[in-house]
Every structure is written in C-alpha cells, then in structure tokens.
C-alpha cells in the first residue's frame, strides 16, 4: 500500500491510501469516500491485501481522507462554505485531476473509475459528478452508494442535531453511538470499534460540526440533475442495511433511488440482512460482491 497527498485548495491537503493489484488488471479504479466520522481506514476490509474481502487483488483502489479527517487537513473555520458537501466534492474532483496528471500514478485511471461513497460520502460522490473536468467525465463508470444520505436538504429536530454535535466528543460518546445507532454490536469487531473511536475523535472540530450543522441541510439535487442530463447509461448500486436507523429504506428510496431513476440512472438495490449503518465494517462482503460485478 502506498500513500499520496494533493493540495486541493489553499488550506486543504487531501491524503489517500492507494493499492494496486499484483497482476495487471483492466478493471476500473475504485475510489472510496467515507462517512461522517470515518477516514480512509473505514474501508480497510476492502483495501487491505490480507483481507478476505479485499478488492485490491482485482482493482486498483484509492481510499480518501476527506478534509478535516484522518491525515487530511482543512481550514480552521466554521464558515459554512469550508466543509460543505459541494466543497468536499470539489476536493475529490481536484484530487482526481491531480492523480490523472501525476506521471507516477496516472495509470490508475487508465480503465476509468468507480465512485464508492458511504452515507455522507455517498452524497459527496453524487455531488462530484458535475465537478469532474472534461477529461475525467467519460472515465466515470458508475457509483456504489452505501447507506446514502439524501440529496435534498435534511433538517433534523433541534434535539437530534444537538445529540449529533456531541456524538464524537469523547471515547464513551463514540462507543455509545456505534453500539446504539450506527452498528449492530453482534456484527462489528472490537478492533473495528476501537478504530472507529480513534477516527471519530481525530477529526478536527470544524469537520465534526459541519455535517450536522449545515452539510445535511445542503440541497445538491439541482446540480446532480444537471450533471446527469448529459450522462447517459450511468449505473448505480445502492446498498442499505436492513436495520439501518440512520438512513432507512423509505427515505433512501424516495430521496436517492427514485431521484436517480427519474434522471436516467440505472439503479439496483441490495438490502443487507441484519446490518445497520456501518456496512463497510459490519458486512464488507456485500460491498465486495457488488463491486466485483463491475
């Protein structure tokens, strides 16, 4: 596994982990975008070479730390533009453009790429479509949206927003959130819970506050609609945990699946039995199986 970093704005450097198959592959690059509270490590079951569900044996992969998370940096500002979905999608588009211009790594994109986003990361993936430069646009082969957040604005009741703002404040609060909200405790290992705690606590305070404060209220639907108008034949896979209480089936169907279908995207849905929100950690095999079909 190798790492790379690209500056995407004056105050942001985006870090990523890269893997390459041992043998030449004609499969597209898989670009992973994590959820609010995660990092590139969220995808370790799908990228680590020693994992039984590693895609790295057949696909090149890149797992990104979004701005303010993991080893990526972001501005020290609570301005609502600095950690918005559109700005983070711009980071992703700029990162891909930099990757395509890097002579040591541009081969990663020679067979195109898939965008794989989890929760907030899925919303960022969808916002990225319209921000790709003209050279990258035809290289996008499709999307895998894992427990995706809706494209339209989501306004939580004040008490729920206040609860989210405190979710990643301490080891105890993160552990409680994982065990009671994000995951089925029977489906996630203790090492992965400890990893989630480290990742969630490591985010900078502005990134932590951004999603509940203004990221989930951002409506990206018009921009995505315009981007899809010029893209025919795009395919998206949606995976959703049967027991997910963060992104329930009814809301995902109305806010993501039906929207994409109405805008010309071929969408498949897989409901993962006995799983809640942290599908990359609770049941990585379901994601592995889906992406192997590309």
Whether 85 and 128 have beta carbons less than 8 Å apart is answered as no
CA distance 220 to 84: 10
Give the HSE-up count for residue 139: Cα atoms under 13 Å, Cβ half-sphere. Answer: 25
Backbone angles phi, psi at 240, to 5 degrees: -140, 135
Q: For 218-227, give one letter per residue: b (16+ CB within 10 A) or e.
A: bebbebbbeb
Sign of CA dihedral 261, 265, 266, 271: negative
For 2-291, the fitting CATH number among 3.40.50.620, 3.40.50.300, 1.25.40.10, 3.40.50.1820 is 3.40.50.1820
- Tell me which residue of 122, 126, 199 sits closest to 167, measured CA to CA: 199
Predicted confidence at residue 231, as pLDDT, reads 86
- Model confidence pTM above 0.85: yes
Helix/strand/coil (H/E/C) assignment for every residue in 145-185: EECCCCCCCCCCCHHHHHHHHCCCCCHHHHHHHHHHHHCCH
Please report, in tens digits, the pLDDT of each residue of the chain (294 residues total): 899 999 999 999 999 999 999 888 899 999 999 999 999 999 999 999 899 999 999 999 999 999 999 999 999 987 888 999 999 999 999 999 999 999 989 899 999 999 999 999 999 999 999 999 999 999 999 999 999 999 998 877 677 767 777 789 899 999 999 999 999 999 999 999 999 999 999 999 999 999 999 999 999 999 999 999 988 889 999 999 999 999 999 999 999 999 999 999 999 999 999 999 999 999 999 999 999 988
Predicted confidence at residue 230, as pLDDT, reads 86
Predicted confidence at residue 163, as pLDDT, reads 77
Residue whose entry in the numeric block shows the structure tokens 């990225």: 128
The residues spanned by each domain of the chain are 2-291
* Start-to-end Cα distance in the chain: 22
Predicted confidence at residue 154, as pLDDT, reads 83
Whether 283 and 242 have beta carbons less than 8 Å apart is answered as no
- Tokens coding 21: 């198959």
Beta strand pairing status for 12-19 and 140-146? unpaired
Count the Cβ atoms, other than its own, within 10 Å of residue 29: 25
């Amino acid at each position: 596994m190798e790492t790379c970093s690209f500056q995407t704005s004056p105050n942001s450097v985006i870090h990523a982990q890269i893997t390459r198959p041992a043998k030449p592959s004609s499969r597209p690059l898989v670009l992973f975008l994590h959820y609010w509270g995660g990092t590139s490590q969220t995808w370790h079951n799908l990228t680590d070479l020693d994992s039984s569900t590693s895609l790295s044996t057949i696909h090149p992969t890149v797992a990104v730390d979004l701005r303010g998370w993991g080893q990526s940096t972001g501005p020290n500002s609570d301005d609502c533009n600095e950690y918005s979905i559109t700005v983070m999608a711009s980071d992703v588009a700029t990162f891909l453009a930099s990757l395509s211009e890097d002579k040591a790594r541009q081969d990663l994109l020679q067979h195109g790429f898939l965008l794989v986003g989890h929760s907030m990361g899925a919303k960022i993936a969808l916002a990225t479509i319209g921000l790709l430069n003209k050279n990258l646009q035809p290289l996008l082969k499709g999307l895998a949206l894992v427990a995706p957040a809706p494209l339209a604005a989501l306004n939580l009741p004040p008490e729920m927003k206040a609860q989210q703002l405190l979710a990643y404040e301490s080891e105890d609060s993160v552990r409680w959130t994982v065990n009671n909200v994000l995951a089925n405790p029977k489906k996630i290992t203790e090492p992965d819970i400890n990893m989630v705690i480290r990742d969630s606590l490591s985010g900078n305070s502005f990134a932590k506050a951004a999603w509940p404060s203004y990221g989930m209220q951002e409506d990206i639907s018009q921009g995505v609609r315009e981007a899809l108008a010029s893209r025919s034949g795009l395919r998206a896979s949606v995976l959703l945990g049967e027991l997910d209480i963060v992104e329930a089936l009814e809301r995902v169907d109305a806010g993501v699946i039906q929207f994409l279908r109405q805008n010309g995207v071929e969408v498949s849905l897989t409901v993962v039995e006995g799983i809640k929100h942290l599908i990359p950690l609770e049941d990585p095999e379901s994601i592995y199986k889906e992406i192997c079909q590309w």
